Amino acid sequence: MPVHVRPIALWRVEVDNQPGALARILEPLAAARVDLQVVMGYRLPGDHARAAIEVAPVTGARAVSAAQAAGLNEAGIAALRVDGDNRPGLGHAMARALGDAGINADFVLGQVSGGQHTTIIGFESREDADRAIPLIKRAVAAPRQPAPPKTARTRGRRLARKRPSGARRGR
């Protein structure tokens, strides 16, 4: 799968950190059959009584109306969504590309399902997010590092394990 890096608009609301708060916010969106692809809920740092809920995408009149009915507003947070094939070290490659370019990420949320990764990255500014797009595409599209060559010693151990029981090793 090719790598997709695109800006997303997060919608956000702050709520009392109480059981059922997330369900109350999502209820109007579910009733309007809004297909959310990102839902984040978290307690605000330093304030155990308050939490934030962020969702995306909210597109179309029906979705916007439902989001506003739930108290959500466009957050104005510069964010990117990165989708593609997963591989070991992918998060590091993106973080290294951003760090080397002097771009700070405000937050990162990543997950893998079925061999595909989805990462949401928030930035301090739209300019930083725009600068990050080609950097992330290059970092994610970079070819995998080849495995180190097998040595004769490694091959010999592997062959020894494949011998049937009772077979003698020739000398």
Q: List the domain range (segments joined by +) for residue 104.
A: 77-144
pLDDT at residue 154, rounded to an integer: 54
- Considering the domain architecture, whether residues 26 and 57 belong to the same structural domain is answered as yes
- Choosing from 34, 50, 76, the residue where a domain stops is 76
- As for how many domains the chain has, the answer is 2
CATH number, domain with residue 58: 3.30.70.260
**Span 107-122, pLDDT tens digits:** 999 999 999 999 999 9
pTM (2 decimals)? 0.78
Angle between helix 61-69 and 21-31 (nearest 10)? 150
Whole-number average pLDDT of the chain: 89
The stretches in the chain having pLDDT less than 70 are 1, 142-171
CA distance 83 to 150: 33
- Considering the domain architecture, whether residues 82 and 131 belong to the same structural domain is answered as yes
- Considering the domain architecture, whether residues 64 and 40 belong to the same structural domain is answered as yes
pLDDT at residue 123, rounded to an integer: 97
- Considering the domain architecture, whether residues 136 and 85 belong to the same structural domain is answered as yes
- Considering the domain architecture, whether residues 81 and 59 belong to the same structural domain is answered as no
**Helices within 13-114 (DSSP H only):** 21-31, 61-69, 90-100
The verdict on residue 91 lying in a domain is yes
- Considering the domain architecture, whether residues 71 and 61 belong to the same structural domain is answered as yes
- Considering the domain architecture, whether residues 17 and 51 belong to the same structural domain is answered as yes
The verdict on residue 155 lying in a domain is no
pLDDT at residue 165, rounded to an integer: 60
The verdict on residue 170 lying in a domain is no
- Considering the domain architecture, whether residues 22 and 44 belong to the same structural domain is answered as yes
Q: How many residues does the chain have?
A: 171
- Considering the domain architecture, whether residues 58 and 100 belong to the same structural domain is answered as no
Taking phi first (over 0 means left), then psi (-120 to 50 degrees means alpha), and beta for anything else, what does residue 154 get? alpha
- Considering the domain architecture, whether residues 36 and 19 belong to the same structural domain is answered as yes
- Choosing from 76, 107, 133, the residue where a domain stops is 76
**Span 137-157, pLDDT tens digits:** 999 886 655 556 666 665 555
96, 107 contact by CB (below 8 A) = no
